[in-house]
Amino acid sequence: MHQSKSRRLLLLATIVAALVVIFDQILKFYIKTHFYLGEDVEVLSFFHIRFIQNNGMAFGIELGSKLFLTLFRIILVCFLGWYIARLAKLARVPAGYMVAVALVASGAFGNIIDCVAYGEIFSNPYPPEVAAIVPWGSGYGGLFHGLVVDMLYFPLFSFTWPEWMPLCGGRVFSFFDPVFNIADAAITIGMGMIIFFYAKYLGSEYIKNEQDKGKKA
């Protein structure tokens, strides 16, 4: 019974991760080969497709060098893969927690693909030309130096601060400014689920306690 549940949890995590990576990469390939860099298409007043590229982490945040970021993502995904396999062996792990961890892992993996491969397989022309798929090694950057493709932009509202306001007077404030992709969204949703619903399952102490319970049973 326990082994059967473990297999189901692993299968669930695998399906969630696979769907995130597949849809993330399909959308990125489409945007990369049909939009020029900086192109903005208004779908709705509060939703645009805006093609940008960045070196950074989720939502374009930059931390350290490009190579450091890529290696950090790879280490993180390897750790999360090991963690998911370990979690699946426990009897009392909620399926929702497995889904949350799988979302984070697959989101990070989706952006790893951009960093590792996109610099090798895509050209990077000046606008208004769009990128083309090229033979491996003929792209705009080397291995581990590809740029992450972002395209989802939600400018929900904006206003101008009154002139009399200190520091920000006369400036335009808009929400929500970051441009992101499906992988970023998966990471954010997964982290939100963990923080708000499954925080007690974090850490090695919970895993150790569950393993002890399993041995006693």
Q: Which residue has the higher pLDDT, 178 or 61?
A: 178
Indicate which residue of 24, 40, 114, 150 is catalytic. 150
Per-residue pLDDT tens digits for 9-32: 889 999 999 999 999 999 999 999
Which residue in 24, 40, 114, 184 is the catalytic one?
Answer: 184
Whether 150 is catalytic is: yes
> Among this protein's residues, is 184 annotated catalytic?
yes
Whole-prediction pTM = 0.84
When pLDDT is cut at 50, 70 and 90, the band that residue 151 belongs to is: very high
Tell me phi and psi for residue 193, to 5 degrees: -60, -45
- Rounded CA separation 45/145 (Å): 34
Q: Which pLDDT score, from 0 to 100, does residue 213 have?
A: 55
**Amino acid, res. 175:** F
pLDDT tens by residue, 84-125: 888 877 767 888 999 999 999 999 999 999 999 999 999 989
- Find residue 160's DSSP bridge partners: 172
DSSP 56: S
